Structure 1
Amino acid sequence: MTSFPILTYLLLATIVLTFCNFYFWFSANKKKAFNWLIFSLNIYLLLHAIFVFTVRHFFTQFIYFNTVAPFVLVYGPLLYIAIELIRRNTIKRKTIYAHLALPSLIWFACLVLIFFYGEGNGFYLYYNIVLALLTPISLIGYAGYGISAILASNSSLKRYKLMVMPAILLLIFMSLISIIVPIYGDKLLSNAAATDLISMMIYSLMFATSILIFKYKTSIVFNEDNLQDLTVETEEFVSPAVKYERSSLTLQQLEAYKQSLHEFTLKNQPYLDSTLSLNSLAKLLRMPSHHLTQVLSTRLNQSFYTYVNGLRIRYAIQLMTENVDMNMSELALASGFSSKVSFYRQFNATKGCTPAAYKKSILK
């Protein structure tokens, strides 16, 4: 057993926190592809932590398992898939398979090494060389993609910036470790304190990842914005002209805000984010939320949810013609609705028929 207790505590904390994340996952919207991705990442992180803990404490004679297991190669592709889901609300399966193909191949080679060859032979040497080269290239490449995606003008991704940026930093940090370890491997192995320090950094990254997932899951479960589909307007109707008669905004300012709203939604499609709220859209537009409400009410004669759901319905109709193979659940999620039920309800209220009936009519 390791002489550095904090390593054990970090691994156990990661395992406990990932189990907590499962609880919050069952309380969230499991129909969203992004939530399924987070669920998969949480499982992978749990398996990683259990594997390391088991080897370090019960199979010390096979401690090299920890160095040859290519766990980190999967984190880059998972980040890529997450970013694509945030940006586009959908991703093709063949794209997922393409990005996970190389890690899967390396994992297969790892299992062959463990079960058929063992430590200290030619296959072990070649495997470690390949792993030492691929790991930093993969991590840096995916981290670079994440940075370029954030710098691009994409409102949906910027909304998740506080979660994506730490994940990118984790990849960069892991890539630095993957470069340092092969270069100074002999010196590190001969120095127990240095080895423990490297291990502590890696396990700290795993724990930090579980914290990110925990933070995301709790924000989803307890975020009132997710109740938007259940929102019922109960306020007594007041004419916009009367309601905003004391507003300081001029007609020119209202028109400028309206134009800004139109251009932003056309370019960035923020309505594809199912958690979009009035406040979050106002922040993206850099205008006070009450000004946005006034623009929607006086210039478009719509409430926020009517406006957003109208854009989602329009986008769904576009998808119907461009992607005829998409089923209604996929169509709902890709259009920014949080569920198939809310999609059907809003579509029927807008078009007077179900999405399936509408799709059938336009494809005749």
Structure 2
Amino acid sequence: MLIDVSLMFLFTEVFPGKEYVSTAAPFGLTFGPFLFWIYRILEGKSIRKDKLLLHFFPFFLGVVSYIAFLSSPIFRADFASDYYIILYGAMCISWVSYPIFVLTARKETADINLGVFKYTMIVLLILTSFMLPFVWEIYSGGMQEEPLMTGVIVIGAMLSGVSLIYWYMLGRFRNVSAPLPVVIESAPVSNLHLLEDESREEVETKQLPDVTDEYNRKIAEYLMLERYFDPSFKLEQMAQDLNIPKSFISLYFTQVHADGFVKTINSWRIAKACEMLMAEELDMSMEELAFACGFNSRASFYRNFSLEKGCSPMAYREKKLS
């Protein structure tokens, strides 16, 4: 994308009259193969070199034609329309076929979040709907001028799609490469910030034979952020944020905390509520306290607190303070 943008700027602002150097570039033929390549990476599959070369063959062929187009004024004069029809027609075919493949492919792993890909695929399909009438216009009436505006629209839209995928992949990389945090067995995560003052040798960690080290690392780090104190927090949200199957997260909670996801999260929320109830001056209502601890209603807060502590929140406060 940077090369494409640089070409457009150079040959419209610095070397006017040579816009064809940018508009004839075949870089659009790489968008589909790169989308396919990233999808395979997320599936955890490697791509054979011969298969990768096959997907990028139209681009390599386009590069050869592009060199001939630039080096021969006669070729440009006689075959410019045909060149643009073939080039942009091939881009349209690529931009339609690869999104269809990604959307219809059999998902062999649940660790794929197609959200960001859907946005990019929508961009590709919109560009195709714009390009097809343009190709037809060239084919039917001949090209009156170089398709500069087409290049601007294509590059601008694709830059948006590329940026979306870039930030998505960067987020995954940061999660995977983050340092391994300590996981405490059956301990409320609201107390995990105390680990900084304790010796790691004194903390008993539990290994997860059925959960990969990468998932263990990502889940533990995520829990240390204490996002479960948000009333809208759910297992589905955690799975989506981490790109980890819900089944792995449930297994993690079952093995590490024994009580499972829902009961463990509610237990940590109650632990935070107990800390807040110990304040000398309680300057919030029970409903406000419930939301601050992650419960979405006062009734849910009272029910879970009673199950955990055997009394109401106010009775707990009076008992402890007395």
**TM-score (structure 1 length as normaliser):** 0.49
Match of 2:156, SS state, is: helix
Q: Could you report, residue by residue, the CA deviation over 1:267-320 in whole angstroms, capped at 9, with x for unpaired residues?
A: xx998889864743898655795x544422478xxxxxxxxxxxxxxxxxxxxx
Q: Residue type of the partner of 2:117?
A: V
Asked if the contact 2:23/2:148 (under 8 Å) is kept, the reply is no
Counterpart for residue 203 of structure 1:
155
2:112 partner amino acid: L
Q: CA 1:107–1:70 in structure 2 vs 1: closer, same or farther (change >3 Å)?
A: same
Q: 1:98 to 1:272 in 2, by over 3 A?
A: farther
Gaps of 5+ in 2: 188-209, 221-237, 259-322
Structure 1 residues 293 and 270: CA distance shift in structure 2, 3 A: closer
- Alpha-carbon offset, residue 103 of structure 1: 1.0
Instruction: Measure the CA separation in 2 of the matches of 1:275 and 1:180.
Output: 50
Shift in CA distance, 191/94, structure 1 to aligned 2, threshold 3 Å: closer
Counterpart of 2:72 in 1: which secondary structure? helix
Letter in 2 for 1:202: V
Q: CA deviation at 1:220?
A: 4.2
- Determine if the alignment matches structure 1 residue 180 to structure 2 residue 133: yes
Structure 1 counterpart of 2:30: 74
SS in 2 for 1:57: helix
Q: 1:280 aligns with which of 231, 236, 239?
A: 239
The Cα of 1:104 is off from its aligned counterpart by: 0.5
Indicate if the aligned counterparts of 1:87 and 1:154 stay in contact, CA closer than 8 A.
yes
Q: 1:211 to 1:125 in 2, by over 3 A?
A: closer
CA shift in 2, pair 1:133/1:120, >3 Å: same
CA 1:232–1:107 in 2, change beyond 3 Å: closer, same or farther? same
The correspondence of residues 213-232 of structure 1 with structure 2, limited to 5 A, is 213-216=165-168, 219-220=171-172, 223-224=174-175, 226-227=177-178, 230-232=180-182
Amino acid in the other structure paired with 1:72: G
Structure 1: distance between partners of 2:67 and 2:170:
36
Larger mean Cα displacement after TM superposition, 57-66 or 135-144: 57-66
Instruction: Using the TM superposition, give the Cα deviation of residue 148 of structure 1 relative to its aligned residue in structure 2, in angstroms.
Output: 1.4
Report the CA distance shift for 1:191/1:93 in structure 2 as closer, same or farther (over 3 A).
closer
Deviation at residue 130 of structure 1 after TM alignment = 2.3
**Letter in structure 2 aligned against 1:155:** A
Greater RCO (CA < 8 Å, at least 6 residues apart): 1
Residue-by-residue CA offset, 1:317-339 (whole Å, 9 max, x unaligned): xxxxxxxxxxxxxxxxxxxxxxx
1:71–1:119 CA distance, 2 compared to 1 (3 A) = same
1:147 counterpart = 2:106: no
Residue 163 of structure 1 deviates from its aligned partner by: 2.3
Determine what percentage of the aligned residue pairs are the same residue: 14
Tell me, in whole angstroms, the C-alpha distance in 1 between the residues paired with 2:44 and 2:75: 44
- Give the 3 Å change call, closer, same or farther, for CA 275–199 of structure 1 in structure 2: farther
Going from structure 1 to structure 2, the CA distance change for 1:66 and 1:218 (only over 3 Å counts) comes to: same
Cα offset, 1:199, TM superposition: 4.8
Q: Among residues 110, 117, 120, which one is paired with 1:164 in the alignment?
A: 117
Listed one character per residue, the Cα deviations across residues 85-104 of structure 1 (whole Å, up to 9, x for unaligned) are: 11134221111111111210
Quote the Cα distance in structure 2 between the aligned partners of 1:204 and 1:93. Answer: 31
The one-letter amino acid paired with 1:169 is: I
Amino acid at match of 2:53: Y
* 3-state SS, counterpart of residue 184 of structure 1: helix
Q: Distance in 1 between matches of 2:247 and 2:94?
A: 40
Structure number with the higher helix fraction is 1
SS in 1 for 2:43: helix
- Per the alignment, residue 110 of structure 1 pairs with 66
Give structure 1 stretches of 5+ with no counterpart.
Answer: 1-44, 240-264, 300-364
Query: Which secondary structure does the structure 2 equivalent of 1:107 belong to?
Result: helix
> Which residue is equivalent to 2:269?
none
| Cα displacement (A) at 1:200 | 4.6
Q: Kindly tell me the number of residue pairs found equivalent between the two proteins.
A: 219
Closer, same or farther: CA 285–103 of 1 in aligned 2, 3 Å: closer
- The question of whether the paired residues in 2 share the 8 Å contact of 1:117 and 1:124 is answered with no
Root-mean-square deviation (CA, aligned residues, Å) is: 4.1
Q: Any idea what SS the aligned residue of 2:112 has?
A: helix
Q: CA contact under 8 A between 1:89 and 1:273: conserved in structure 2?
A: no
The CA deviation at 1:72 is 0.6
State whether residues 147 and 168 of structure 1, in contact with CA within 8 Å, keep that contact through their aligned partners in structure 2.
Answer: no
The separation in 2 between residues aligned to 1:215 and 1:276, in whole angstroms, is 18
